[in-house]
Structure 1
Amino acid sequence: MTTTTTPEAEVLDRTALLRWTTAMALSGTIGAVVLESGAQAPAVAFARCLVGGVLLAIWCAARGWLRPAVLSGRDLGLAALGGVLLVGNWVLLFASYALSSISVSTVVYHTQPLLLVGLAAVLLREKVTRSHLGRAAVAFGGVVLISLGAHGTDGQPVNAGGVALALGAAVLYAGASLIAKQLSHVRPHLLAAIQLGVGTVLLAPALAFTPLPADPRGLLWLALLGAVHTAVMYVLMYSSIGRLPTTTVALLSYVYPVVAVIVDVLAYGHRVSVVEGAGMLAVLAAAMAPTRKR
């Protein structure tokens, strides 16, 4: 029996493809927005949580998803824990931009898919294949090359602390993803709104030490981060991910680091050395390699 694809289905697929690609391209410009805001990492993360959380809550309310008893106590607790990990991941990642560079931090951050498998093995007793161990070895060899060969805009070697922070951010994001897998029955827009709300409360006290920018320009950058790079981006991602093949989603996710490297080179004059470039390719190749059963 032959299955035909209707023009409407093709349009929907193209729409989902465009939305996911746009979301990944937006992700690649986050580093530039963070640096241009001039704010310190906790203040940036707070602004992202506040603006993005309010807008996503409005989105959920408009669709009738904010109802009493929509989540069990266990689900709410897991969502809150995921929010702590998600926000911690942002703080570490944003801090790493200033110590290394946008491109270095973003590529190192993309060890997260491999770290997720490792965490699943430790916490959920899932089996780790030889294929995964080999890919992890290649990826972390790439991280070492990046650490040794990367240079900042001043021509000096990149601070190893920035690489460490990006790796820490990847670990926290992998943990948040692991929790999200346990909450797959919860609408992702609602889950994101809850987690951003947790982040807003958690980070509010940090404003006493790392205040928001005093100049309107810095505040506008933070508003852009919360509105476009959080609320709009989450809607684009969640409205498209379920309508695309997993392989397509995985492949197009690497638009994110590619755009980040391009932005870093064009906007901030970052020069990719041969050793650093080899490390970046190793990390991305390991993360993009197809998963094998053994």
Structure 2
Amino acid sequence: MSRRGWVLFLAMSVIWGVPYLLIKVAVGEMSPVVVVFARCVIGAVLLVPWTVARGQVRPALRHWRALLLFTVLEMTAPWLLLSYAEVSLSSSLTGLLVASVPFVAALAARLLGGEERLTAVRLAGMGLGVVGIAALLGLDVEGVALLPVLAVVLVVIGYGTAPLVASRALADVPGVAVSSIALVVTAVVYAPFAIPRIGQVTAAPATALTSLAALGVVCTALALVLFFALIREVGPQRALVITFVNPAVAVLAGVLLLDEPFTLGLAVGLPLVLAGCALATRRNTPTPAPESAAVP
């Protein structure tokens, strides 16, 4: 990986490890639909002027089908589901569940005709990750409702497949343009449900408002620009390796800032999930050319 790739990777690892904490704080004072709407509006206000000034809106809309699919998979569905799940799930547990995204990405790439094959090592990594998640839920299952967990599962499916759409169908569209349009579409979808509840924002305490602002500026506008740059630098599957580090950041933030317990399930599940993800997305070793085919 290039130096630029490493910088983008480390930045995204931290930036998308923080949203679980911020969402947890925000949904404690505002409904999930309001959080998603405000997040999209803040991000759109920052990115749309840039897109318009560069004349990128019309060229991007030529790919409207792929844009719509990406928007649903990456934002419209996952962000509401994630906010809903964190009403009852801890930010640490949510972050660990989302760590299974590379499993979905590897399987989706294979099913869609990706060049990399599912080797024994990658399959073993997926199995190890599943064991880690099972250990996590098995040890921390008391008081955990099924519906929030299923909501996170749908989030994982969306996050695992959206980068493939971006890299294959939107490769010629600037990332800022894709992000701007996706944010506007998602905000429009949730506006009828969020605007009647907008009073929750003005009544929210400073901590919730600060979390919402950081969620929109850093974890949405800035993060989406960097994420598209990372996809174009290293490819969709390797870009999703950030989810190896995201859970660690989420756990650390939840334990240190929200006084969430560092349970036995987290202690056992975290290393297993991270190790499984590392193996599951390991790049295949190229098959050496036969000696007889070598050029003298």
1:6 is aligned to none
142, 167, 177: which is aligned to 2:153?
Answer: 167
67, 82, 95: which is aligned to 2:84?
Answer: 95
Gaps of 5+ in 1: 1-11
Q: Residue 213 of structure 1: SS of its match in structure 2?
A: helix
2:290 is aligned to none
1:177 is aligned to 163
Matches within 5 A, 1:110-125: 110-122=99-111, 124-125=112-113
Alignment partners' CA distance in 1, 2:66 and 2:128: 33
1:196 is aligned to 183
**Most deviating of 165-174 and 22-31:** 22-31
CA shift for structure 1 position 185: 1.9
Distance 1:276 1:160, change over 3 A: farther
Q: Is the 8 A contact 1:145 1:275 kept in 2?
A: yes
Matches within 5 A, 1:59-74: 59-62=50-53, 64-66=54-56, 68=58, 70-71=59-60, 73=62
CA shift for structure 1 position 105: 0.7
Distance 1:248 1:179, change over 3 A: closer
1:78 aligns with 2:78: no
Alignment partners' CA distance in 2, 1:111 and 1:125: 21
Distance 1:159 1:72, change over 3 A: closer
**Most deviating of 249-258 and 85-94:** 249-258
Q: Residue 254 of structure 1: SS of its match in structure 2?
A: helix
Code of the residue aligned with 1:77 in structure 2: it is: R
CA shift for structure 1 position 239: 4.8
User: CA offsets, 1:184-235, max 9 Å, x none?
Assistant: 2211111111111111111112226765434253444323311222112233
Aligned residue pairs, count = 274
Between the two proteins, what is the percent identity of the paired residues? 23
**What TM-score, normalized by structure 2, do the two folds share?**
0.79
Q: Residue 172 of structure 2: SS of its match in structure 1?
A: coil
Code of the residue aligned with 2:56 in structure 1: it is: L
Gaps of 5+ in 2: 288-296
Code of the residue aligned with 1:66 in structure 2: it is: Q
1:52 aligns with 2:54: no
Alignment partners' CA distance in 1, 2:270 and 2:80: 23
**Most deviating of 280-289 and 128-137:** 128-137
